[in-house]
Amino acid sequence: MVKDSQRAVVLLSGGMDSCVCAALAARDHQAAAVHVSYGQRTEERERRAFFAICDRLGIRDRLLVRNEALSAIGGSALTDRDIGIPESRSLGRDIPATYVPFRNAHFLSVAVSWAEVLGATQVYIGAVEQDSSGYPDCRPEYYRAFNEVVRLGTKDGGIEIRTPLIRMRKSEIVRLGLELGAPFDLTWSCYGREDSACGVCDSCVLRLRAFRDAGSADPIPYAALAEKV
């Protein structure tokens, strides 16, 4: 396996999509991983997943940053305890309560700033449009527009944001992860719990459905299973 000489920064939340994305980046580049904590409910559990996945994938350059703005601003069930985490009933209709206003721009800004200092030419993010929760910042046109901002707003304009999973179904992402040996056992996707995954929030339901459709068992423990996976 020959790696590209170009360095890449990968945004690694610790969920299944970002884990597969990191496995891809680590296969093809000298990868550096960045994790942003933003006061989300499962912050500690996700941070643990980040370090464990980096260890398993052999990613040594790591950046862990805390974003204070998103929790100060609120407006999302993920950062505001007064807004409940919706169960999967509502999936696929409107933009859900777990939408964090303009969140991915914060994450991309961190990754691009770091890429500029490292001399990396690629930023990987595991955004997924299909099968996802309907977040506006998970669509291909959003990343096309952001790439234009990066081209115009950096020193030499030579950094590209890559979204290798964006057009895949979640079940295809599971299959790709299995091929790559992505450490799904170390990932965390649940929006609400940190001990075992709740099995009923949007994120758990999408994940369980993806493993079922891929004909594989999800290796992490669940507290309950939604009736309608």
Q: Kindly list the residues in this chain that would bind a second copy in the complex (CB under 8 A).
A: 36, 63, 65-70, 72-75, 95, 99-106, 108-110, 112-114, 116-117, 136-137, 139, 141-142, 145-146, 148-155, 157
Comparing CB distances to a second copy, the nearer of 29 and 103 is: 103
- 168's CB contacts (< 8 A; 6+ apart) are 128, 130, 176
Comparing CB distances to a second copy, the nearer of 72 and 224 is: 72
The distance of closest approach from Cβ of residue 95 to a second copy in the complex, given in angstroms and rounded to an integer, is: 6
How far the first Cα of the chain sits from its last, in Å, is 37
The distance of closest approach from Cβ of residue 159 to a second copy in the complex, given in angstroms and rounded to an integer, is: 9
Comparing CB distances to a second copy, the nearer of 23 and 127 is: 127
* Rounded CA separation 93/112 (Å): 32
- What Å distances lie between residue 53 and 3, 6, 34, 71, 188, CA to CA? 19, 21, 12, 25, 10
Comparing CB distances to a second copy, the nearer of 60 and 66 is: 66
* Rounded CA separation 44/37 (Å): 8
Measured torsion, CA atoms of residues 151, 154, 157, 163, in degrees rounded to the nearest 10: -60
List, edge to edge, every strand of the sheet that includes 122-124: 30-37, 7-11, 122-124, 160-162
The distance of closest approach from Cβ of residue 91 to a second copy in the complex, given in angstroms and rounded to an integer, is: 17
Comparing CB distances to a second copy, the nearer of 36 and 205 is: 36
The distance of closest approach from Cβ of residue 98 to a second copy in the complex, given in angstroms and rounded to an integer, is: 13
The distance of closest approach from Cβ of residue 181 to a second copy in the complex, given in angstroms and rounded to an integer, is: 30
Is residue 16 within 8 A of residue 207, CB to CB? The reply is yes
* Rounded CA separation 103/161 (Å): 16
